[in-house]
Amino acid sequence: MAATQKDPVLVVVQLSGGNDYLNTVIPYNNPLYRDNRPAVGIPDAQVLPIDKNYAFHPAMAPLKKVWDEGKLAILHGTGYTNSPRSHFRSMDIWHTCEPDKVGTEGWLGRVAREYDPNKENVITVVSFGPSLFRALAVPGVPVACVAGPLEKYGFLPTVQERELRLKVLDRFARMYAPVVGSGVMEYLGTTGLDSLKGADVLKVAPQRYASTVKYPDTPIARKLQGIAQVHLAGLGSRIFYCDHGSFDTHAGQNPGHGTLWSAVAEGLDAFMMDLRQHDHADNVLVLLFSEFGRRVHDNGSGTDHGAAGPAFVLGDKVKGGHYGDYPSLKAEHLVQGDLNPSMDFRSIYSTILEKWLKVSSKPIVGRAFEQLAFLN
């Protein structure tokens, strides 16, 4: 791979299910917080204050450390107007940047097409999750989708015997060889060979990888370790995507929400430590987002679907701090009981696109949005 080792890399961690804003960045000195959270509030004695107004959930201690180092940006009140409060639709909006109509192309798929229009590297985008995230989907853009352990990634994982496997994959390649004639067979051929090539390239990542960092035994930590392996192998991947959830805490939010956040925070802690030990952290930016925040007032054991939520950006090049305003908790400012979004999510995307990934943001997010200052 010809890629320069220090090309900027984006890692997206999607918090699926709707992460609760109020118990993530806790306005612990605001009496309205206590009023609204009789059942699922976090007691004062447990919160992790980051300043005089706000505190993190106790499960986010490793992220508090990043905050203290000045490398964590909190993006307040993210969302968009007329939040639909549906998981699927909301996630689609974040993925396609189309709040008003149904979009078909994912924003990061567009970035990949921009980076590699001739598909010279079939693993420009690597996704760790059960299926192709819509954010990555653009027709003709190859995405390596790793559903299980990286070691087993590829076609026909159940054919395990080494010799036979090599032969079978070799036959697969020949069976997918270009054909003259039918367009659809040709297309299937290209797609099959792209995926096969991707699997072939990715396979070296775990082999090249050696680390003393111990990751926690959680699904998100395993995904992040997979990302670290591919990133450290220097295969030219620029966009990584993974998810964790479900943050859909309608009931049993305490302790469920904490368990979710410890997995994310501890996983990220190991991940960043791993990259730093290998001197490969400075070109990585991590974005955390969720499709929406949750209802301000709890429902007795959890919280229902809401609107505005927080997003986070972290990395060695990030200027830590608060960006945007925490939406007002006053009853008269709520929209159907939810925090009113104060920052369009496409502002975050635009900033990352322009200042980090160095691509023009307008064709990807649709129009110009305010650039935020969390990157130089």
Partner 1 sequence: MAYQDDIALMAHLMRRAGFGARRDELEARVAKGYEATVEELIHPETQPPVDVYTLLRYHPAALLPGGQPPMGNVNYMYHLVNTKRPLEEKVALFWHHVFATGNSKVDNYDQLLLQINLFRERGMGDYRALLVELARNPTMLFWLDNNENHGTAVNENWGRELLELFSLGVGSYTEKDVREASRAFTGWTFETKIPRLPYGRFPWKFEYRAEDHDDGEKEFLGHRGRFNGEDIINIVVEQPACARFVCRHLYNFFVADEPQVPAWSIESPSDPKAIDTLTATFRESHYDIRSVLRVLFNSSFFKNARFQHMKSPAEVVVGSLRLVGGYEMPRPGYGDLSMQPSYMGQDLLNPPSVEGWHTGQEWINSGSLMARINFVAQLVGDPSLPGVRAIIDRLKAKGTLSPEQLVDGCLDLLGPVEVGADTRRELVDQAKEWGQISWDREVSAQTADKRVGEMLQLIVATREYQFA
Residue 336 Cβ vs partner 1, minimum distance, rounded to whole Å: 13
The pair of structure tokens assigned to 344 is 């369009």
Task: Please state the three-class secondary structure of the chain as a single string.
Answer: CCCCCCCCEEEEEEEECCCCCCCCEECCCCHHHHHHCCCCCCCCCCCEECCCCCEECHHHHHHHHHHHCCCEEEEEEEECCCCCCCHHHHHHHHHHCCCCCCCCCCHHHHHHHHHCCCCCCCCCEEEECCCCCHHHCCCCCCCEEECCCHHHCCCCCCCCCHHHHHHHHHHHHHHCCCCCCCHHHHHHHHHHHHHHHHHHHHCHHHHHCCCCCCCCCCHHHHHHHHHHHHHHCCCCCCEEEEEEECCCCCCCHHHHHHHHHHHHHHHHHHHHHHHHHCCCCCCEEEEEEECCCECCCCCCCCCCECCCEEEEEECCCCCCEEECCCCCCCHHHCECCECCCCEEHHHHHHHHHHHHCCCCCHHHHCCCCCCCCCCC
Task: Write b or e for each residue in 148-174: b if 16 or more Cβ atoms lie within 10 A of its Cβ, otherwise e.
Answer: eebeebbeeeeeeeeeebeeebeebbe
* Selected range binding partner 1 among 66-74, 124-132, 211-219, 234-242, rule: CB under 8 A: 124-132
One of 88, 100, 117, 358 touching partner 1 (CB under 8 A):
88
Pick the closest to residue 293 from 306, 280, 275 (CA basis): 306
One of 4, 158, 212, 376 touching partner 1 (CB under 8 A):
158
Q: Is residue 248 a contact residue for partner 1 (CB under 8 A)?
A: yes
Q: Is residue 336 a contact residue for partner 1 (CB under 8 A)?
A: no
Residue 168 Cβ vs partner 1, minimum distance, rounded to whole Å: 6
User: How wide is the angle at C-alpha 25 spanned by C-alphas 21 and 30, nearest 5°?
Assistant: 95
* Selected range binding partner 1 among 170-178, 237-245, 252-260, 321-329, rule: CB under 8 A: 170-178
Residue 145 Cβ vs partner 1, minimum distance, rounded to whole Å: 4
Q: Is residue 175 a contact residue for partner 1 (CB under 8 A)?
A: yes
Q: Is residue 104 a contact residue for partner 1 (CB under 8 A)?
A: yes
Q: Is residue 180 a contact residue for partner 1 (CB under 8 A)?
A: no
Closer to partner 1 by Cβ: residue 241 or 356: 241
* Selected range binding partner 1 among 30-38, 122-130, 222-230, 314-322, rule: CB under 8 A: 122-130
The pair of structure tokens assigned to 352 is 């990352």
For partner 1, the binding residues in 127-146 under the rule CB under 8 A are 127, 130-132, 137, 139, 142-145
Closer to partner 1 by Cβ: residue 31 or 183: 183
Closer to partner 1 by Cβ: residue 64 or 134: 134
One of 1, 39, 147, 166 touching partner 1 (CB under 8 A):
147
> Exposed/middle/buried for 224, CB within 10 Å: 0-12, 13-18, 19+?
buried
One of 105, 116, 194, 274 touching partner 1 (CB under 8 A):
194
Residue 150 Cβ vs partner 1, minimum distance, rounded to whole Å: 14
Q: Is residue 122 a contact residue for partner 1 (CB under 8 A)?
A: yes
For partner 1, the binding residues in 298-317 under the rule CB under 8 A are 299
One of 189, 216, 219, 258 touching partner 1 (CB under 8 A):
189
For partner 1, the binding residues in 220-239 under the rule CB under 8 A are none
Q: Is residue 376 a contact residue for partner 1 (CB under 8 A)?
A: no
Closer to partner 1 by Cβ: residue 312 or 345: 345
Closer to partner 1 by Cβ: residue 80 or 326: 80
Interface with partner 1 (CB under 8 A), residue total: 49
- Note the residues at the interface with partner 1 (CB under 8 A): 84, 86, 88-89, 92, 102, 104, 122, 127, 130-132, 137, 139, 142-145, 147, 154-159, 164, 167-168, 171-172, 174-177, 179, 183-185, 187-189, 191-192, 194-195, 198-199, 248, 299
